[in-house]
Amino acid sequence: MISPGFTGGTLDRADRLRHDSEAFAAALGDWRARLLKLENFEPELDSEGRLAWTTIADAPEGSELLLLGLDGDRPCFAALTPGMLPPAGRPMRMFAMLEQFAPGEAATYAAARSLLDWHTRHRFCANCGTATNIFRAGWARSCPNCHAEHFPRVDPVVIMIAEHDGRALLGRQHGWPQGRYSALAGFLEPGESIEEAVAREIMEEAGVRVSDVRYIASQPWPFPSSLMIACVGMAEDERITLDTHELEDAIWVSREVVRAVLAGEPGPFLPPPPYAIAFTLLTEWANG
């Protein structure tokens, strides 16, 4: 299987250090400790597509250091700087950089970006509204008033294709690059299983009823913090009824055509980029 983008991380997340204030202090004082170089939320890369690092002495004044993990026994940090705000949307420059990442590096960046984003959005207690404090080496916030503890959350998203008679259902969203089609996707809702979410989303967006849902792979997606869960469901028929608020178009495409398009040959649609799990999903499905 093609490894989905943002997977394959090599850092030891070092959960043991998150519970040990003395060990965390020692990590902060380690002369070998590294700080991820970021321009707000965007990473700096070297000529080989590797993440750029500096020493924690370069952390901006007033910043709080979050432990990303250990590279061997070398601590690696990201800095939460005062006034740091998540960017609106996803800059095209960011997507161009995704194509450059060396294997495993994207996973480190994904963890850092999602963690920083969570802190910027959760500075106040959801229970009582009091300003919270960072603890557990940057992997939690605590409320000094009601003593509630808050932890980073991941939003599960199903991304899927329906299959019927050897063909895959692909959709096109408004605003996508001309000609691009990909898997359908949507957030899981409370009280819903993965299989139920897949069936509901395909029915809502394309009017196609599916069953026999099977799991293929998953991918962290740090914009800001989702877990993409790739699946395939078997369609009862091929009739499409579009929800035009969600999709601009939807088409059925044969395995042969999908294989050709993924191999770079011209076809009736442009495929998703290789770092997206939709590319992995389509590849796995096309290969049977």
- Structural domain tally of the chain? 2
4 lies in a domain? no
Same-domain check for residues 23 and 78: yes
Q: What CATH code is carried by the domain that includes residue 114? A: 3.90.79
Structural domain ending residue among the three candidates 120, 150, 180: 150
Do 233 and 192 contact (CB within 8 A), yes or no? no
Report pLDDT for 97: 80
Gap between the Cα atoms of 221 and 157, Å rounded: 10
Same-domain check for residues 48 and 91: yes
Same-domain check for residues 145 and 159: no
Q: Judging by DSSP bridges, how do beta strands 155-164 and 226-235 pair with one another?
A: parallel
Per-residue pLDDT of the chain (288 residues; tens, 9 = 90+): 788 989 999 999 999 999 999 999 999 999 999 999 998 888 998 888 789 999 999 999 999 999 999 999 999 999 999 988 877 766 677 777 877 787 789 999 999 999 999 999 999 999 999 999 999 999 999 999 999 999 999 999 999 999 999 999 999 999 999 999 999 999 999 999 999 999 999 999 999 999 999 999 999 999 999 999 999 999 999 999 999 999 999 999 999 999 999 999 999 999 999 999 999 999 999 998
Burial of 180 (0-12, 13-18, 19+ CB in 10 A): middle
Structural domain ending residue among the three candidates 117, 150, 183: 150
Report pLDDT for 190: 97
Structural domain ending residue among the three candidates 106, 130, 150: 150
Do 181 and 270 contact (CB within 8 A), yes or no? yes
Gap between the Cα atoms of 244 and 39, Å rounded: 37
Find all residues with CB under 8 Å of 45, minimum gap 6, and list them: 51, 52, 97, 100, 101
Same-domain check for residues 145 and 39: yes
Report pLDDT for 103: 74
Amino acid letter, residue 140: A
Angle at 181 between CA 179 and CA 185, to 5 degrees: 150
Report pLDDT for 76: 98
Please choose, from the candidates 101, 50, 100, 103, the residue with its C-alpha nearest in 3D space to the C-alpha of residue 76: 50
Same-domain check for residues 145 and 162: no
Same-domain check for residues 137 and 180: no
pTM of the entire predicted model: 0.94
Same-domain check for residues 272 and 230: yes
Please choose, from the candidates 76, 81, 64, 222, the residue with its C-alpha nearest in 3D space to the C-alpha of residue 141: 64
Residue 177 is part of which domain span? 155-286
Report pLDDT for 91: 67
Report pLDDT for 258: 98
